[in-house]
Amino acid sequence: MIGNFPLTRMRRNRIDSATRRLVAENKLSKDDLIWPIFIIEGNNIETEVSSMPGIKRVTVDRLAAYIEPAANLDIPALALFPVTTNDKRDPEGKEAYNPDNLICRASRELKKRFPEILLIGDVALDPYTSHGHDGIIKNGYVANDETIEILVRQSINQARAGMDFIAPSDMMDGRVAAIRKALDNDNFVNTRIMSYAAKYASVYYGPFRDALESGKLLKGDKKTYQMDPANSREALSEVELDIQEGADSVIIKPGLPYLDIIRMVRDRFNIPIVSYQVSGEYAMLKNAINRGYLDNNQAILETLLCFKRAGANAVMTYFAPVAAKLLKQL
């Protein structure tokens, strides 16, 4: 204090918008955004996911029109998720490596229409299994090594269909190494692996399972392979292993409730980190926005900026096109 006055006034750096911009430590940009998309079978159909207001499932023929605004806003990447009809599901998830499955048709169509947009293929068997689990079941347990054999075939199938990134979200042990080796052997040396390294057994995936219509099928829970929300150091081991096995970037999931995990991984490793703001987070925010409890633009931009502050390089978010548009207007 000098007399009655504070010597340091923190508020000086907040005095006007230009000063605030100059001293800002983190910035959200369109380059940080990945947009997850749901694809359905059929022609000329769009259906809304009831628990995710504003989010649609679209048929392949409508995909180009659906993502064109995002392409024009220069969003760098899309993550594709197929809704598989029950007749194509079986206990082993064989549809996962059918070269003409929905996700492959979508990938080829998008690559043809928007060659510069990166495509991220989710690798796990839950869209294809009749029991809704991410792997095949032996004696009541999701069998690790047998599942990996199918995940490898699924990965090659997606790489051949043009996916730039293979994103294993199944949480089997050792799958990154197996997928990397298979991709290299098949000459996909530059197909990147963005692994879901720390994926928690979370209630926040509920609306996603509605979107994929796998929620009703799922027997039991995913706690024998997805992580326990009680743990954080375990996430460091998961990330370390995926880096050793050849991951090019890692995903931490869910997003907002797990910002501490992003920070811990950022402080320890140099690998790029992607945070996934999942379906349940979208549902919470969007419902509060729709009821007028939160301001739409501020809620979206503040929330996404927090991922950057925690240390994420990029964010997968259902708000991606809206956020890119808002950022352009700033």
> Binder to ligand PBG among 32, 95, 134, 164 (CB under 6 A)?
134
> Binder to ligand PBG among 55, 124, 179, 235 (CB under 6 A)?
124
- 75 contacts ligand PBG (rule: CB under 6 A): no
- 238 contacts ligand PBG (rule: CB under 6 A): no
Q: Count interface residues toward ligand PBG (CB under 6 A).
A: 11
Q: Which residue is nearest to ligand PBG (CB)?
A: 208
> Binder to ligand PBG among 119, 271, 278, 294 (CB under 6 A)?
278
Reply yes or no on whether 112 is catalytic. no
| Closest distance to ligand PBG from the beta carbon of 122 (Å) | 5
CA distance 141 to 260: 31
From residue 11, give the alpha-carbon distance in Å to each of 14, 16, 25, 90, 265: 5, 10, 16, 61, 32
Least Cα distance to 241 among 276, 282, 213, 269 occurs for 269
| Closest distance to ligand PBG from the beta carbon of 279 (Å) | 3
> Strand 314-317 relative to strand 33-40: parallel, antiparallel, unpaired?
parallel
Interface mask (CB under 6 A) for ligand PBG, residues 198-217, using x and -?
-------x--xx--------
> Strand 46-48 relative to strand 77-82: parallel, antiparallel, unpaired?
unpaired
| Closest distance to ligand PBG from the beta carbon of 153 (Å) | 17
Q: Cα torsion at 90, 96, 101, 107 (round to 10°)?
A: 150
Write down the catalytic residue from 199, 222, 286, 308: 199
Window of 53-61, 122-130, 242-250, 264-272 that interacts with ligand PBG by CB under 6 A: 122-130
CA atoms within 13 A on the CB side of 23: 10
Q: Using CB under 6 A, which residues numbered 8 to 37 contact ligand PBG? A: none
Reply yes or no on whether 199 is catalytic. yes
> Binder to ligand PBG among 101, 129, 155, 169 (CB under 6 A)?
169
Report the run of H or E that residue 35 belongs to, with start and end: strand 33-40
Asked if 49 and 81 count as a contact pair (C-beta separation under 8 A), the reply is no
238 is in an annotated binding site: yes
- 126 contacts ligand PBG (rule: CB under 6 A): yes
Say how many C-beta atoms besides its own lie within 10 A of residue 214's C-beta.
23
Question: Considering beta carbons, is residue 112 or 223 the nearer one to ligand PBG?
Answer: 223
CA atoms within 13 A on the CB side of 273: 31
From residue 165, give the alpha-carbon distance in Å to each of 64, 77, 290: 20, 10, 34
- 245 contacts ligand PBG (rule: CB under 6 A): no
**Which two tokens mark 218?**
């799922």
> Binder to ligand PBG among 279, 306, 315, 322 (CB under 6 A)?
279
Asked if 137 and 112 count as a contact pair (C-beta separation under 8 A), the reply is no
> Binder to ligand PBG among 32, 95, 122, 238 (CB under 6 A)?
122
CA distance 131 to 193: 27
| Closest distance to ligand PBG from the beta carbon of 6 (Å) | 46
Residues at the site binding ligand PBG, with contacts judged by CB under 6 A: 122, 124, 126, 134, 169, 205, 208-209, 222, 278-279
Residues making up the annotated binding site for Mg(2+) are 238
Residues making up the annotated binding site are 238
Active site residues: 199, 253
